[in-house]
C-alpha cells in the first residue's frame, strides 16, 4: 500500500494577515517570527516550493532594539557594481535615514534567496510607527513572544 504526499493546490491555501508589534523587542527575534509566518512553516500543509505563508505587517519597526553595542557596531554593506564601489552604513545612521529598512533586510535575509523568496517578500509590510493602512484585511495581532 502506497501513501501519497499531499501537495496543496493554488486555490486551497488560505492566507491570513498578522500584525507584529516590534516596540521594545529584539530586531532579530521579530524577524525570525515574521519569516516563519511568511514562509508558512507554522501551517501543517507547508510545502517548501510553494507560497503557502501568510501576510505580515510589522509596526513600530523603528522602536525595535538591538543587544550589546550593535547600534554602533552593526554594519550594512552595498556595492555599486563598480571597482571599489562598496558602501557601508551602521545601524544608527540607517535607522535615522530609513527607519524600516533594517527590519526589512533582516526578514528578507531569512527567506530563500531565489524567485520564491522574492515573491514571499512582497507579503511583508513594515511601518515605522504604530499605524498601518491594512485594517480592511482584518489583521490579527501576533503574540509578542511567538
pTM above 0.85, yes or no: yes
**Does 124 have pLDDT greater than 80?**
yes
Q: pLDDT at position 2, please?
A: 75
- The predicted pLDDT at position 9 comes to 84
Q: What is the pLDDT of residue 1?
A: 67
* 145 has pLDDT over 70: no
Please give the mean pLDDT across all residues of the chain: 94
Q: Domains, the chain, ranges and CATH?
A: 16-66+96-141 (3.90.1180.10)
Q: In whole angstroms, what is the distance from residue 46 CA to residue 52 CA?
A: 6
pLDDT at residue 4, as a whole number: 87
pLDDT in tens, 87-101: 999 999 999 999 999
Nearest CA-CA partner of 58 in 93, 95, 32, 92 = 32
Question: How does DSSP classify residue 129?
Answer: S
Kindly list the distances between the CA atom of residue 73 and the CA atoms of 69, 76, 77, 91, in Å, as whole numbers in the listed order. 6, 10, 13, 8
Q: Does the pLDDT of residue 10 top 90, yes or no?
A: no
Amino acid at each position: 500500500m502506497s501513501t501519497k504526499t499531499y501537495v496543496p493546490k493554488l486555490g486551497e491555501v488560505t492566507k491570513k494577515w498578522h500584525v507584529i508589534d516590534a516596540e521594545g523587542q529584539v530586531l532579530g527575534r521579530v524577524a525570525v517570527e515574521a519569516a516563519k509566518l511568511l514562509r508558512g512553516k507554522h501551517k501543517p500543509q507547508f510545502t517548501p516550493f510553494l507560497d503557502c505563508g501568510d501576510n505580515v505587517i510589522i509596526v513600530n519597526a523603528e522602536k525595535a532594539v538591538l543587544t550589546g553595542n550593535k547600534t554602533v557596531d552593526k554594519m550594512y554593506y552595498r556595492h555599486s557594481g563598480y571597482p571599489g564601489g562598496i558602501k557601508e552604513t551602521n545601524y544608527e545612521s540607517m535607522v535615522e535615514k530609513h527607519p524600516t529598512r533594517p527590519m526589512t533586510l533582516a526578514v528578507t535575509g531569512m527567506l530563500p534567496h531565489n524567485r520564491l523568496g522574492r515573491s514571499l517578500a512582497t507579503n511583508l509590510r513594515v511601518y515605522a510607527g504604530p499605524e498601518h493602512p491594512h485594517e480592511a484585511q482584518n489583521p490579527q495581532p501576533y503574540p509578542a513572544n511567538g
